[in-house]
């Protein structure tokens, strides 16, 4: 408004006093703004910028607890987030997934399950905020959620106001019971509703990739699911991983491909496989939403989830997703370009056999430069760091020999000296 007023002021024919001219310019700017809003109601709507500049990190109830959510559970998980070192490692959002809601009242207001959440949602949000954490909730673009609870369709603006009042910081918005709805239009409507409600909320689209959200959702939300639901099994996890290969160019600060929440620690994979799962998600610049019971973690699970060097790769400020530099079937090499001309390289053994490989380090560096067309590499400028061993690799010459157990990874960071 101020800029528009100034512009009009400058262009206004100067045949009156300065203050009269300013009044007229202000009135004119106001009229233009009103007309614009009436003629193009969506013109001022947008997503909240500056959120999720690195992939969101947190915890979500669905993978472990399904519909068995309650105030007690969520508060205990928030406590565990603080006590275990997860919060220190960067996890901040505590998200209640489906099943917190039961109905709508006569005014359309959403009704919370009183037995499971006796003090209501705002109470819970306040508790989470008091720990310095952030609070997320779940709803759905269709008429019902995937578990048959009331969905958001037709109540977008009302629900967005409610979420803002409760202190919600993150909304996961699902795609069940959406029948013939247009995905882009439905999610854009909720984006506008959130924006209008005025509280900055990370908007997580859960449309499962059916309408190719990577092509349009950068303007709508901060992350979008690219596939159906993850299952806590090696083949299901790698199947989802494979589907991210062609989506490299769509990821960046404030807009992330989401291959679904983590299964680390839920019991369906071996420790080695969970290490691989976590490493791949970090390489992909995926959101890191833990999906296990934070109150009851093994030492191994906690070590995986809080590997700070691996998390630093995920949270790198450049926001690049890794690309597949070599695909030999059972053996793959993935490279993620990092800020300051650094790189993370992940060697992946997908097979059921141990593999021994000879790795040519300068060739790996060069592969990145070819892909992103950056400055020519200089191997002597880098130290090679093993991210899971937490130590520098002693390189004699340019080759290193690596032994990879079945279903495992080696992740190196090429650090600028
Ligand atoms: C869908 C989503 C899951 C979860 C459930 C809840 O399946 O993809 O992540 O939110 O709904 O019902």
Q: Please give all residues whose beta carbon lies within 6 A of any atom in ligand 1, as ranges.
A: 62, 97-98, 145-147, 174, 206, 229
230 alpha carbon – ligand 1 mean position (Å):
10
Best residue for ligand 1 mutational test, from 147, 150, 229 (most atoms within 8 Å of Cβ): 229
The residue nearest atom 11 of ligand 1, judged by CA position, is 146
Pairing of strands 256-258, 223-225: parallel
Distance CA 129, CA 26 (A): 41
Q: Is the pLDDT of residue 53 over 50?
A: yes
The closest alpha carbon to 265, from 241, 229, 293, 289, belongs to 293
Mean pLDDT of 95-120: 98
Please give the pLDDT value at position 368.
Answer: 73
Neighbour order of strands in the sheet with 331-338:
323-327, 331-338, 342-349, 408-416, 382-386, 391-392
Ligand 1 atom with the smallest distance to the CA of 260 is: 9
Query: In angstroms, what is the span from residue 95 Cα to ligand 1's centroid?
Result: 13
Residue with the smallest CA separation from ligand 1 atom 4 is 62
- Average pLDDT of span 251-263: 98
16/36: higher pLDDT: 16
Instruction: For residue 5, give the H/E element and its range.
Output: helix 2-11
CA of 97 from ligand 1 middle (Å) equals 8
Backbone angles phi, psi at 400, to 5 degrees: -125, 145
- Do the beta carbons of residue 54 and residue 317 sit within 8 Å? yes
- 245 — pLDDT class (breaks 50, 70, 90): very high
What token pair was written down for 243?
């589907």
Which among 58, 98, 225 is the best mutation to test ligand 1's pocket, defined by most ligand atoms within 8 Å of the CB?
98
Mean pLDDT score across all residues of the chain: 91
Residue 209 Cα distances to 194, 303, 376, angstroms: 22, 31, 36
**What phi, psi does 201 have (nearest 5°)?**
-130, 130
Mean pLDDT, residues 66-85: 98
Strand order in the sheet with 256-258: 256-258, 223-225, 202-205, 170-174, 134-140, 93-95, 57-60, 288-290
- Please give the distance, rounded to the nearest whole angstrom, from the Cα atom of residue 13 to the centre of ligand 1: 60
- Ligand 1 atom 6 nearest Cα: 98
Please classify residue 86 by burial: count the beta carbons closer than 10 Å to its beta carbon, then call 0-12 exposed, 13-18 middle and 19+ buried: buried
- Per DSSP, the residues of 136-155 read EEEEESSSB-TTSSB--TT-
Candidates 98, 159, 169, 174; catalytic one: 174
Residue 119 pLDDT > 90, yes or no?
A: yes
Contacts of 269 (CB under 8 A, 6+ apart): 232, 233, 234, 237, 263, 277
Residue pLDDT, tens place only, 304-350: 999 999 999 999 999 999 999 999 999 999 999 999 989 999 999 99
d(CA 106, CA 79): 36
Please confirm, yes or no, whether 174 is among the known catalytic residues: yes
Q: Which atom of ligand 1 lies at the shortest distance from residue 138's CA? A: 10
Q: Whose CA is nearest to atom 1 of ligand 1?
A: 146
**pLDDT of res. 376:** 63
Residue entry with tokens 């509703």: 193
Lowest mean pLDDT among 81-90, 96-105, 212-221, 381-390: 381-390
Confidence at residue 10, expressed as pLDDT on a 0 to 100 scale: 60
Q: CB burial class (10 A; 0-12, 13-18, 19+) of residue 318?
A: middle
CB atoms < 10 A from the CB of 138, how many?
26
Strands (E), 252-305: 256-258, 288-290
- Tokens 């609870």 locate to 149
Lowest model confidence (mean pLDDT) among 54-58, 59-63, 229-233, 399-403? 399-403
Query: Percent of the chain scored above 90 by pLDDT?
Result: 81
DSSP state for residue 12 in the 8-state scheme: S
Catalytic residue among 126, 229, 239, 386: 229
**Distance between Cα 353 and ligand 1 center (Å):** 34
**Could you tell me the distance, in angstroms and rounded to a whole number, from the CA of residue 233 to the centre of ligand 1?**
17
Instruction: Using most ligand atoms within 8 A of CB, pick from 174, 232, 236, 260 the residue to mutate for ligand 1.
Output: 174
* Cβ–Cβ < 8 Å for 64, 266: yes
Which residues are registered as beta bridge partners of 58?
Answer: 93, 289
Checking if the pLDDT of 205 tops 80, the result is yes
pLDDT (average), residues 275-296:
99
Looking at residues 211-230, what average pLDDT do you find? 98
Residue 217: phi and psi, rounded to 5, are -80, -10
Yes or no: say if 235 and 255 are a contact pair by the CB < 8 Å rule: no
Atom of ligand 1 nearest to the CA of 225: 8
- Residue 371 phi, psi dihedral angles, 5° rounding: -70, -45
pLDDT (tens digit, 9 = 90+) per residue, 145-196? 999 999 999 999 999 999 999 999 999 999 999 999 999 999 999 999 999 9
The SS3 assignment for 116 reads coil
Q: What is the pLDDT of residues 341-376, one digit of tens each?
A: 899 999 999 999 999 999 888 888 777 766 766 666
Strand partners, 290: 59
Catalytic, 242? Answer: no
Q: What's the gap in Å between 118 CA and the centre of ligand 1?
A: 24
Ramachandran sector of residue 353 (left: φ over 0; alpha: ψ -120 to 50; beta: rest) = beta
CA 302 to CA 286: how far, in whole Å?
Answer: 19
pLDDT at site 39: 46
Determine if the pTM surpasses 0.85.
yes
């Amino acid at each position: 408004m101020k800029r528009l007023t100034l512009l009009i002021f400058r262009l206004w024919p100067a045949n009156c006093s300065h203050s009269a001219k300013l009044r007229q310019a202000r009135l004119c700017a106001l009229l233009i703004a009103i007309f614009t809003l009436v003629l193009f109601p969506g013109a001022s709507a947008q997503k909240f910028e500056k959120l999720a500049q690195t992939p969101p990190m947190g915890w979500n109830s669905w993978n472990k607890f399904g519909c068995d959510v309650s105030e007690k559970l969520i508060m205990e998980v928030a406590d565990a987030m603080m006590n275990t070192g997860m919060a220190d490692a960067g996890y901040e959002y505590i998200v209640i997934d489906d099943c917190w809601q039961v109905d709508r009242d006569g005014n359309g207001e959403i009704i919370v399950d009183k037995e499971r959440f006796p003090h209501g949602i705002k109470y819970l949000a306040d508790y989470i905020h008091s720990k310095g954490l952030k609070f997320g909730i779940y709803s759905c673009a269709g008429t019902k959620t995937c578990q048959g609870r009331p969905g958001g369709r037709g109540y977008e603006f009302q629900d967005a106001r409610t979420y803002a009042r409760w202190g919600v910081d993150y909304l996961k918005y699902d795609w069940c019971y959406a029948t013939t709805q247009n995905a882009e239009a439905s999610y854009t409507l909720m984006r506008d509703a959130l924006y209008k409600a005025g509280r900055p909320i990370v908007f997580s689209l859960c449309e499962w990739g059916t309408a190719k959200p990577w092509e349009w959702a950068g303007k709508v939300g901060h992350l979008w699911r690219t596939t159906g639901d993850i299952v806590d099994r090696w083949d299901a996890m790698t199947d989802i991983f494979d589907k991210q290969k062609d989506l490299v160019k769509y990821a960046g600060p404030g807009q992330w491909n989401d291959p679904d929440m983590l299964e680390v620690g839920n019991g369906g994979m071996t420790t080695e496989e969970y290490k691989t799962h976590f490493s791949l998600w970090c390489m992909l610049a995926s959101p890191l939403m833990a999906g296990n019971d934070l109150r009851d973690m093994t030492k191994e699970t906690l070590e995986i989830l809080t590997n700070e060097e691996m998390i630093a790769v995920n949270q790198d400020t450049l926001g690049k997703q890794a690309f597949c530099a070599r695909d030999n079937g059972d053996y793959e090499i993935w490279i993620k370009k990092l800020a300051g001309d650094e790189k993370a390289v992940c060697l992946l053994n997908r097979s059921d056999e141990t593999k021994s490989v000879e790795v040519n380090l300068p060739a790996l560096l060069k592969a990145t430069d070819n892909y992103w067309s950056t400055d020519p590499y200089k191997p002597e400028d880098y130290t090679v760091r093993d991210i899971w061993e937490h130590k520098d690799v002693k390189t004699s010459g340019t080759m290193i020999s690596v032994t990879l157990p079945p279903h495992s990874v080696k992740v190196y960071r090429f650090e600028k000296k």
